[in-house]
């Protein structure tokens, strides 16, 4: 008899059994999940043991959010409920980007571009990403050539200094790649890119490059679930220690990445529901942001003075503080976030806050604004999908119609 844990994708497991198996795989205790869902551990135990009937759609979607279930059918056991939540459908350019990452071209004589030429192309790529509504299409088209040329630049470097410079650029290309790959159905590719970016950044010896690679690597750890939160903190803290001696006279980019890393510690703490630690790190990040010029905007992390309001909304939402997230959203709307994808992400976080605060109509309005800013962002965002699906079936006809129209608009439901 096999001692392996049952697979929640295989019938005829009950809903409660699926919840327990997926919870344990995520490394969450029953108390942690119950706290997220707003029920008692005793109630959750009864659900898992099958002593209480399966909950309604709203609770099912909250469970899916808490456990980061990628396919709703894995939780319900019903093939007809196949909905990708925390992973997108796969962009048409994903295969080409994957091929470029996997093809190290060790034995191919690719002529490397001049360093200044690659720098200019990378700068233009970041600018295009922030300006574009369909940012994955824009950068997905550019990435295969950027990856190939950055690798060639490192391989054919004429001096140690040129090689270090090339490694910093290669790390930045991998950072751009991670933005494209995130929330798509290829977790192993995301990890390859994140880890290669960290190696290239360390080989470059460039503090800013190391900070950016650490920022993205820590996010990969955190998004892998509660068992990886400590690993995310280890990466963030190591990068902050590296940058700390530079901060008294640091250039804006170094100060900004240090601030972004500080906020990441707060973000992870908020995922743990550690209220004091989360806001303490947010305060430290805000102090760094206040040292930046008013119109400064970090090209990778979007860190700036304007972003701190959006970060406050995220902390409040992750702490499940509905009222506080709404108050922070009102403050944050006074600032303009220059990046369309980041602006859309902020609208989604606002929608989560209004949903927590029992204002579903405002939540849908925020998601409509997210779709206006960057449909490519909302299309791949599991939190947005959960809210839309939850509001497709309410009693209020007007809200149901708006949610359904939005679901069709982003491809969540067929027209």
CATH code assigned at 63: 1.10.260.40
Contact in structure between 376 and 171 (CB atoms under 8 Å): no
pLDDT tens digits for range 291-308: 999 999 999 999 999 999
Same domain, 174 and 193: yes
- Predicted confidence at residue 377, as pLDDT, reads 93
Residues counted in the chain: 415
Whole-Å CA distances, 304 to 139, 277, 289, 329: 23, 21, 6, 17
Radius of gyration of the chain (CA): 22
Whole-Å CA distances, 395 to 54, 62, 390, 399, 400: 21, 19, 11, 8, 7
Q: Which residues of the chain have pLDDT under 50?
A: 1-3, 8-12
- Predicted confidence at residue 265, as pLDDT, reads 98
Whole-Å CA distances, 89 to 102, 135, 186: 21, 15, 10
The CA angle 324-327-332, to the nearest 5 degrees, is: 120
Stated as kind and residue range, the H or E segment containing 386 is: helix 382-391
How far apart are the C-alpha atoms of 98 and 257, rounded to whole Å?
A: 27
Best CA proximity match to 272, nearest among 315, 214, 234 = 315
* Torsion, Cα of 124, 150, 239, 189 (10° steps): 100
Please give the structure tokens belonging to residue 6.
């049952």
Same domain, 50 and 105: no
Best CA proximity match to 269, nearest among 311, 305, 304 = 311
Last residue of a domain, one of 189, 205, 221: 205
Q: Structural domain tally of the chain?
A: 2
Contact in structure between 217 and 195 (CB atoms under 8 Å): yes
Query: What does the DSSP 8-state code read for residue 81?
Result: G
Chain centre to alpha carbon of residue 177: 13
Best CA proximity match to 93, nearest among 228, 216, 189, 233 = 189
Same domain, 71 and 140: no
Same domain, 105 and 125: yes
Is 52 inside a domain boundary?
A: yes
Contact in structure between 332 and 311 (CB atoms under 8 Å): no
Is 348 inside a domain boundary?
A: no
Is 252 inside a domain boundary?
A: no
Same domain, 76 and 100: no
Query: How many CB atoms are located within 10 Å of the residue 95 CB?
Result: 12
Residue 124 lies in domain: 89-205
The CA angle 91-97-101, to the nearest 5 degrees, is: 145
Same domain, 66 and 134: no
Same domain, 33 and 99: no
Is 27 inside a domain boundary?
A: yes
Please give the structure tokens belonging to residue 148.
């190939």
Same domain, 56 and 131: no
Last residue of a domain, one of 160, 186, 205: 205
What are residue 84's DSSP bridge partners? 71
Is 99 inside a domain boundary?
A: yes
Tell me the backbone φ, ψ of residue 140, rounded to 5 degrees.
-65, -30
* Torsion, Cα of 358, 47, 50, 383 (10° steps): 60
């Amino acid at each position: 008899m096999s001692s392996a844990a049952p697979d929640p994708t295989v019938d005829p497991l009950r809903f409660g059994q699926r919840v327990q198996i997926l919870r344990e795989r995520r490394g969450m205790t029953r108390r942690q999940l119950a706290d997220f869902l707003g029920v008692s551990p005793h109630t959750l135990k009864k659900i898992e043991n099958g002593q209480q009937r399966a909950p309604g759609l709203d609770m099912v979607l909250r469970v899916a959010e808490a456990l980061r279930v990628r396919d709703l059918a894995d939780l319900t056991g019903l093939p007809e409920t196949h909905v990708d939540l925390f992973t997108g459908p796969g962009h048409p350019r994903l295969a080409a980007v994957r091929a470029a990452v996997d093809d190290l071209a060790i034995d191919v004589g690719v002529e490397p571009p001049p360093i200044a030429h690659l720098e200019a192309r990378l700068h233009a790529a970041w600018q295009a990403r922030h300006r574009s509504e369909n940012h994955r299409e824009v950068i997905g088209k550019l990435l295969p050539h950027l990856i190939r040329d950055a690798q060639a630049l490192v391989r054919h470097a004429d001096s140690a200094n040129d090689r270090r410079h090339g490694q910093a650029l290669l790390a930045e290309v991998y950072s751009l790649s991670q933005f494209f790959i995130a929330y798509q159905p290829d977790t192993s590719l995301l990890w390859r890119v994140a880890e290669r970016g960290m190696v290239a950044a360390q080989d470059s010896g460039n503090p800013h490059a190391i900070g950016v690679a650490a920022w993205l690597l820590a996010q990969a750890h955190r998004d892998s679930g509660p068992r990886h939160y400590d690993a995310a903190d280890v990466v963030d803290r190591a990068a902050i220690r590296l940058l700390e001696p530079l901060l008294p006279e640091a250039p804006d980019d170094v100060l900004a990445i240090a601030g972004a890393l500080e906020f990441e510690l707060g973000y992870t703490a908020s995922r743990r529901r550690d209220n004091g630690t989360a806001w303490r790190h947010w305060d430290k990040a805000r102090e760094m942001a206040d040292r930046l010029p008013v119109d400064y905007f970090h090209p990778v992390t979007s860190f700036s003075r304007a972003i701190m309001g959006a970060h406050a909304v995220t902390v409040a939402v992750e702490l499940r503080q509905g009222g506080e997230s709404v108050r922070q959203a009102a403050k944050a709307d006074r600032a303009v976030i220059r990046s369309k994808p980041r602006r859309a992400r902020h609208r989604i976080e606002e929608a989560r806050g209004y949903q927590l605060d029992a204002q579903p109509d405002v939540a849908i309005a925020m998601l409509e604004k997210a779709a206006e800013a960057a449909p490519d962002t909302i299309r791949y965002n599991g939190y947005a999908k959960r809210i839309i699906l939850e509001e497709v079936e309410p009693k209020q006809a007007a809200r149901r119609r708006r949610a359904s129209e939005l679901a069709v608009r982003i491809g969540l439901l067929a027209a």
